[in-house]
A = this chain, B = another copy of it.
Amino acid sequence: MEEKKISEKTVRLLVALSSKMKDNAHCPYSMFPVGAALLCEDGTIFTGCNVENSAYPVGVCAEKTAISKAVSEGYRKFKAIAISSNLKDRFIVPCGNCRQFMAEFGFDIDVYMSKPDLTYTQSTVGELLPMGFEPTQLLDED
| A24 contacts B58, C-beta separation under 8 Å | no
Task: Say whether A115 faces chain B, with CB atoms less than 8 Å apart.
Answer: no
Instruction: Say yes or no for A39: interface residue by CB 8 A criterion.
Output: no
User: Do A29 and B26 touch across chains, with their CB atoms under 8 A apart?
Assistant: no
Indicate how many identical chains form the complex.
4
CB–CB B93/A96 < 8 A: no
| A56/B30 in contact, CB under 8 A | yes
**For residue A100, which residue of chain B has the nearest CB?**
B96
Residues of B within 8 A of A51 (CB): 67-68, 71-72, 101, 104
**Is A14 an interface residue when CB atoms closer than 8 A count as contact?**
no
- Report the bound CA distance from A96 to B94 in whole Å: 10
**CB–CB B123/A131 < 8 A:** yes
Q: How far is the CA of A113 from the CA of B48 in the complex (A)?
A: 27
Known: A54-B138, A128-B130, A138-B30. A48 touches B61 (CB 8 A): no
**9 nearest interchain CB pairs?**
A96-B100, A55-B95, A96-B96, A65-B68, A96-B99, A56-B56, A97-B97, A51-B68, A54-B135
Give the interface of A toward B (CB within 8 A): 21, 24, 26, 28-30, 32, 47-49, 51-62, 64-69, 71-74, 76, 86-87, 90, 93-101, 103-104, 113, 123, 127-139, 141
